[in-house]
């Protein structure tokens, strides 16, 4: 790699790692543990994405590509891989329930406001909502999750009222670490795709930012950004739900793909070191 490109890539890695290392240290993850994780990803990626056509990827070639010894590659390949499938499923189920509650006409009034639902019974109910959009999980489990995160409240009439437009996990919930991996990973995948694709095949990747804003402008912009982003996400959620075969089994077509749009807000004091 040319010197200029290597320097730029090095700084890009530093910018990615700085907030990540902050999270790792806050959660007691040492450099040695991080190094083991990185080795696993290096070996897995080299084995699955950097093979030669019509040739089996060998330990020797993985060693050459990654710079790890053959012994280390073999050791890493023999280790079991961690999984956060249970955490991911809990997050997805809760998010699907709230999205459907805001989107589906059966669970909203004529103005599109989510109904205050009875727990069970004939007609629209919280139990029916969970059963329809969260699979076979008992509705009490989803209810406890949403109550604990202040997403809903149980009224004096023993009905369930939605308080938030989206599922936001508690501060110390492991779900947040799952979100860190999925959302940051998807953003980097998008950037990687756009760096390799020709202009006609690049996908949407934009941001807007200014670096000389007065402090008083920040809360106004934060509210405006949140309201605009939520409106757009709800619109896109409705379209995706109509075209997703889990939400709408009548949808026809071949293949199975994941697609979506992520939006995030940022602010920080400006530094001359900012790139």
Residue 170 has pLDDT above 90, yes or no: no
121: left (phi over 0), alpha (psi -120 to 50) or beta: left
pLDDT of the residue at 2:
75
- Of the candidates 13, 16, 44, the one whose C-alpha atom is nearest the C-alpha of residue 184 is 16
Residues in the chain, total? 275
What pLDDT is attached to residue 207? 95
pLDDT score recorded for residue 1: 67
Mean per-residue pLDDT, 51-56? 87
Report how far residue 161's alpha carbon sits from residue 11's, in angstroms, rounded to the nearest whole number. Answer: 47
pLDDT at 168 over 70: yes
* Cβ atoms of residues 161 and 147 within 8 Å: no
Q: How confident is the model at residue 274 (pLDDT cuts 50, 70, 90)?
A: low
Please, are residues 127 and 120 in contact by the beta-carbon 8 Å criterion?
yes
What percentage of the chain exceeds 70 in pLDDT?
98
> Cβ-count burial of 126 within 10 angstroms (0-12 exposed, 13-18 middle, 19+ buried)?
buried
Q: How far apart are CA 244 and CA 257, in angstroms?
A: 10
Residue 67 tokens read as: 């710079």
Those residues with Cβ within 8 angstroms of residue 98's Cβ, 6 or more apart along the chain or in another chain? 146, 151, 162, 164, 165, 166, 167
Assign 3-state DSSP to the chain and report helix, strand, coil percentages, each to 5. Answer: 55, 5, 40
pLDDT one-digit tens code per residue, 171-199: 778 888 999 999 999 999 999 999 999 99
Give the C-alpha distances (Å, rounded to integers) separating 129 from 110, 141, 145. 18, 13, 15
- Specify the 3-state DSSP secondary structure of 118: strand
For residue 30, pLDDT over 60 is answered with yes
Only one residue has tokens 């329809």, namely: 132
**pTM for this entry:** 0.80
Is residue 206's pLDDT more than 70? Answer: yes
- Is the per-residue pLDDT at 257 higher than 80? yes
Confidence (pLDDT) at 210 = 96
Dist CA 232 CA 229 (whole Å): 5
Distance CA 79, CA 41 (A): 12
């Amino acid at each position: 790699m040319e010197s200029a490109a290597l320097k730029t890539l090095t700084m890009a890695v530093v910018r990615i790692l700085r907030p990540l290392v902050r999270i790792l240290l806050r959660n007691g993850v040492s450099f040695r543990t991080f190094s083991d994780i990185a080795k696993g990803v290096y070996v897995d990626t080299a084995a699955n994405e950097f093979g030669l056509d019509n040739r089996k990827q060998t330990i020797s070639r993985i060693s050459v590509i990654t710079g790890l010894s053959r012994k280390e590659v073999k050791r890493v390949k023999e280790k079991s891989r961690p999984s956060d499938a249970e955490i991911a499923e809990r997050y997805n189920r809760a998010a699907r329930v709230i999205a459907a509650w805001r989107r589906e006409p059966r669970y909203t009034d004529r103005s599109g406001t989510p109904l205050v639902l009875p727990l069970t019974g004939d007609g629209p109910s919280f139990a029916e909502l969970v059963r329809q959009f969260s699979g076979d999980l008992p509705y009490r489990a989803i209810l406890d999750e949403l109550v604990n995160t202040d997403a809903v409240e149980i009224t004096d009439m023993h009905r369930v009222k939605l308080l938030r437009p989206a599922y936001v996990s508690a501060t110390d919930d492991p779900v947040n670490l799952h979100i860190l991996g999925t959302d940051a990973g998807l953003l980097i995948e998008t950037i990687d795709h756009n760096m390799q694709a020709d202009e006609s095949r690049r996908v949407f990747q934009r941001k807007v930012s200014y670096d000389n804003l007065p402090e008083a402008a920040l809360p106004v912009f934060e509210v405006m950004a949140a309201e605009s982003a939520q409106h757009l996400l709800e619109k896109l959620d409705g379209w995706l739900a109509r075209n997703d075969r889990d939400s709408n089994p009548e949808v026809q077509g071949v293949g199975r793909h994941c697609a979506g749009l992520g939006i995030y807000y940022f602010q920080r004091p400006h530094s001359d070191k900012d790139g």
